[in-house]
Amino acid sequence: MRMLALIFMIFTMCSCRGNSESGYNEKMAKLFHSCREKMDESYGKLLEGEYDVDKSDYSYHMKLNEARALSSYIKGIKCEASQLKYSKTAESFHIATVGYMTEIVDGYGVLLIKYIDEQKKGDRKSLLREITDEKEKIAALAESCLGYQIAFLNQAGIKVDSQRGK
């Protein structure tokens, strides 16, 4: 939770500066944060058993559509992020953040849909382990994005203390 607070703080605090680097940072920060919130919300529902639905139940289709909508939403955010104009200084940060979004769609999103569609408890348990591993991978990518962002901001002349908030 501290890491999320630190990421959000850095993403938003640097948006107050008046140059184009800060404008880019502000927009990308909002997109990143939106993706992270949606994914965390979905993962919380998974852990609470909300996706453990039977195909014969009407809620099955609702949950399957919810998982598909998550992937569609993140794809849209990723498309918006991909179209942002960025400087050479922001390139590593940009690539890492778009990669983070891609991993949510191609990794977590795909596994979540499989999980909902799977009806055998043992197979669901196995998929839950895969999803948990994927969530850890995505969390590591988020931390990596933060590192690239700090480097970008420092290179852009917007000094950030990477130890702040720890």
> How large a percentage of the chain has pLDDT more than 90?
78
pLDDT at 7 over 50: yes
pLDDT at 44 over 80: yes
Specify the higher pLDDT residue, 86 or 22: 86
CA distance 119 to 131: 16
CA distance 153 to 73: 28
pLDDT at 38 over 70: yes
pLDDT at 18 over 70: no
Residue 71 near residue 105 (C-beta atoms within 8 A): yes
Name every residue whose Cβ is closer than 8 Å to that of residue 150 and which is 6 or more positions away in sequence: 10, 160, 162
pLDDT at 161 over 70: no
Mean predicted confidence (pLDDT) in 63-81: 97
Q: How confident is the model at residue 157 (pLDDT cuts 50, 70, 90)?
A: confident
CA distance 99 to 2: 22
State both tokens at 24.
Answer: 């880019």
**Domain 2-14+25-155, what architecture?**
Up-down Bundle (1.20)
Write down the pLDDT at residue 149: 93
Write down the pLDDT at residue 21: 87
Cα of 120 vs its chain's centroid, Å: 29
pLDDT at 104 over 50: yes
Residue 53 near residue 59 (C-beta atoms within 8 A): yes
CA distance 94 to 82: 8
Mean predicted confidence (pLDDT) in 133-154: 95
pLDDT at 19 over 50: yes
Nearest by Cα to 43 from 120, 122, 142 = 142
Give the relative orientation of helices 58-82 and 20-47 as an angle to the nearest 10 degrees. Answer: 160
State the chain's mean pLDDT as an integer.
88
Q: How confident is the model at residue 165 (pLDDT cuts 50, 70, 90)?
A: very low
pLDDT at 13 over 60: no
